[in-house]
Amino acid sequence: MRKKIVAGNWKMNMLQDEASQLVNDIIKEVKSTNDAITNEQEIIIIPPFPWIPDAVKQVDGYDNISVGAQNSYHEPRGAFTGEVSPEMIKSTGAEYIIVGHSERRSYFNESNEFLKQKVNAVLEAQLTPIFCCGEPLETRESNKQNELIEKQIQESLFHLNKEQISNLIIAYEPVWAIGTGKTATPEQAQEMHHFIRQLIAKKYGDTVAENIVLLYGGSCKPNNAVELFSKNDVDGGLIGGASLKAKDFIEIVQSFN
């Protein structure tokens, strides 16, 4: 049975005190709501780099709450001013790293080949990549979204073996639904998640495909999470803005119940 995951990507938000308070508030919400999280579910908190060590300490002892990073470089060490390696992130106690978020692809021109190197580095550090893929509005409007998603996945992931591909998470994020207030319909989300799972099945077989976790990332909020998460191939969400409010975030977690 695939684990149900809700990951909160804080992006470039929260000062130190605010970050600490938000983690505390998330923990309080989990404690106060008996059915907020089960053994089949996991919460991943993904703050900016400076707040990762504090977040790891705060969630220590909570088996179903983990911490991740929003990005990393593909080299383990060296003269790369301003970059952070997967090994550095691992040393903090974090367990996940987002790779290829649409903002990294767009603002920092990260190519499929570059993301391939990042995926390799994250796996080499024995961390779990959360690999993002998705299409902009013009691609969706020209009905070429499947072609683009297939290209992103093939060029960044299909060099991996079965064991490696089984140790990552894929997040589908329709770029046209991020920060715009628009959301893919549950049917659109399911259609793309099913397409991605079929791509994995063709390359690696049905068993690998059935066990890989696919998250939806695109303006997922408490008022639409229940319907999105009810779809067969949607295993949770990569949450942006709604992860900055503990109550909203935990309401999304509860959408599985």
- Which residues are tagged catalytic? 101, 173
Secondary structure (3-state) at 210: helix
15, two tokens: 């000062």
Q: Which amino acid is at 18?
A: E
Q: Which of 43, 48, 55, 42 is nearest to 71 (CA)?
A: 48
For 245, half-sphere exposure in the C-beta direction (CA atoms, 13 angstrom radius) is 8
What is d(CA 80, CA 83) in angstroms, rounded to the nearest whole number? Answer: 6
CA 38 remoteness from chain centre: 19
144: three-class secondary structure by DSSP: coil
